[in-house]
Amino acid sequence: MADLRLPNLNKCIISGRIANDLELKYTPKGTPVLRFTLAVDRNYKDESDQWQKITSWIDCVAWNRWAENLANYSHKGSALIVEGRIETRSWTDQNNVNRKSTELVTEAIHNLEWKPRDGQNTGSEDAPLPDEITAPPKTTNDDLPF
């Protein structure tokens, strides 16, 4: 049997609402990081042909400008589309127990609505997002696989 050559593909795109309060943190070297949970709903019909809704809770992490922009322009309940890759981390906790976590590491975040944070008055409910948030990642021909 010939060797099967699989492409290296790890891409995930999900939409949902932020399920927790956002708290921007910084690594010891000063890199911004923001961990958040995205609530993703899925509708299905049950045995009695009635529509039901189930929610999946997806752990996500944003780094650098994505973390800062998310903290500044979004809040619990904000609707997002998140693009990224799935990563798994392993570590040993304080009680010497091996732990494992799988999360979506964001590569792009798209706000689906604009709502100012509580107490902020932007003058317009339809204020556009800064270009930095909605701009696609910059790529060059060197980044293309073909």
pLDDT single digits (tens) 12-30: 999 999 999 999 999 999 9
The reported pTM is 0.70
Residues contacting 35, CB < 8 A, separation 6+: 25, 59, 60, 61, 103
57 closest CA partner among 105, 24, 18, 90 = 18
Q: What is the mean pLDDT of residues 21-44?
A: 94
Q: What is the pLDDT of residues 68-92, one digit of tens each?
A: 999 999 999 999 999 999 999 898 9
Give the CATH fold of the 12-143 domain. OB fold (Dihydrolipoamide Acetyltransferase, E2P) (2.40.50)
Extents of the domains making up the chain = 12-143
Task: Tell me the CA distances in angstroms from 9 to 1, 16, 60, 124, one per residue in order.
Answer: 23, 23, 19, 41
pLDDT confidence bin for 8, thresholds 50/70/90? confident
pLDDT at 126 over 60: no
What's the pLDDT score for residue 113?
Answer: 79
